[in-house]
Amino acid sequence: MRQFSPLEQRLLNEFQQGMPLTSNPYADIAKQLGVYETTVLETLQRLQTEGVISRVGAVFRPNRVGASTLAAMAVPEDEIETIAAIINEFEEVNHNYEREHEFNLWFVVVATDEDRLQLVLSDIEAACGYPVLDLPLLDEFFIDLGFDLKWT
């Protein structure tokens, strides 16, 4: 199992939420951690390259900035990885996961507006060859996605 450095542990645990809303957030993080901004940026890039994290950035409440939807597809088991890779090529897809259900591949699409959102869903359907089930948000619930990571 990979061992995380003290700096990596702090970055992964302390900055899941509360990213500084300033013109130089990584410099501000570096100052809090007592390291250089380049060290923070290089460490985050390495963690992303290794697949430890998928992205660093703000998460906005759904449909406050642009348009978004949850989507699902029914994909034969032997094609899941291939179809997931195609879906992941779309920059508007921010995460994609398999579920145990008839609709076994689920993903979130975020676009600049509703027209672009529908175009992306159509393009995904065409690229994959399977119908996309569009599941727009009807009722909003807040889920805190921060995780208290244990480093034992």
- In tens, the pLDDT along 24-49 reads 999 999 999 999 999 999 999 999 99
Q: CB neighbours (10 Å) of residue 150?
A: 6
123 CB-near residues (< 8 Å, 6+ apart): 90
Q: Where are the domains of the chain?
A: 6-49, 67-135
pLDDT in tens, 69-118: 999 999 999 999 999 999 999 999 988 999 999 999 999 999 999 999 99
- Rounded to two decimals, the pTM is 0.62
HSE-CB of 135 using CA atoms within 13 angstroms = 12
How much is the pLDDT for 61? 62
**Residue 22 in 3-state DSSP?**
coil
Residue 74 CA to residue 80 CA, distance in Å, equals 9
Query: Which strand (E) or helix (H) includes residue 73?
Result: strand 67-73
Question: Which fold, 67-135?
Answer: Alpha-Beta Plaits (3.30.70)
